[in-house]
Amino acid sequence: MKTISGLSNPTVKYLRSLRDKKHRRREGVFLAEGLRLLTDARESGRLPQMLAMAEGRDPHPLLDTLIAAVEDAGGEVLAMSEAALSKITGKDNPQAVCGVFGEFDTGLDRLDRTAAPLFLAAQALRDPGNLGTMLRTADAVGAGGLVLIDDCADPFSVEAVRASMGAIFTVPLALARWEEFLPWLRGGAGGQLVAASLRDAVDYRGAPYAAPCFLLVGNESRGLPEGYEMACDLRVTIPMLGRADSLNAAVAGAVLAYEALAALR
């Protein structure tokens, strides 16, 4: 195991640069932090190309298993000083562990519409925390995937990966423009497109959901464009009983997902 302590070390600088989207895209990799998240990745069949941990950190059986798996796969394992690792992760945590993973194929063709009765979709979702939560919800309801439409936050950012609680490794993910997504959905095996909406919408409870059902939520502040809503097969609304006029986008997605799942079973 190689040990690195200097803050100016090229490897430290490289790992730190992966917090920036342009560097991630150039390298085709992303960072994931935390032993639990990296263990979820390993159990899902994904291993980091490079694993970095705090020098002299306490032994842990899950970490030992992870190190052995990375080494067996030909990956690199590094021990770093607390200061060097803190520079990479942005955290003052001597027990930190982080890994470098290759980005996944995010093409629409990666999604199998027969894999599950329910899929989630989000348009122009800008908050990485919301994006990560949508991934986590998709995992919780056994969704066949999450489609990110138009200009969404980067799903491979440290913040989105952390918020996904490991679901980035378990949920098929696709990125597409609306002009790509709609023809793809209407072609082949098809699918029902359901919008979270206020326009001519029915109550989300008891709505006529049909598999494969794609639940679509919009931007946190603007919602879905009218043209997108009109192209949907069904528009549903969640009643607001208090002063708030809407739910957080990720929360709305979770509420709709569990209702649709119950109807589709």
pTM of the model: 0.91
Peptide bond into 61 cis (omega under 30): no
Within 13 A of 245's CA, how many CA atoms are on the CB side? 6
- Identify the CATH assignment for 2-102 out of 3.60.21.10, 3.30.1330.30, 3.40.50.300, 3.40.50.720: 3.30.1330.30
According to the CATH classification, is domain 108-264 in 3.30.390.30?
no
The answer to whether the beta carbons of residues 39 and 14 sit under 8 Å apart is: no
**pLDDT by 10s per residue, the chain, length 265:** 788 877 888 999 999 999 999 999 999 999 999 999 999 999 999 999 999 998 877 788 999 999 999 999 999 999 988 888 888 887 776 568 999 999 999 999 989 999 999 999 999 999 999 999 999 999 999 999 999 999 999 999 999 999 999 999 999 999 999 999 999 999 877 899 999 988 889 999 999 999 999 999 999 888 899 999 999 999 999 887 777 666 789 999 999 999 999 999 8
- CATH 3.30.1330.30 placement within the chain: 2-102
Where do you find CATH 3.40.1280.10 in the chain? 108-264
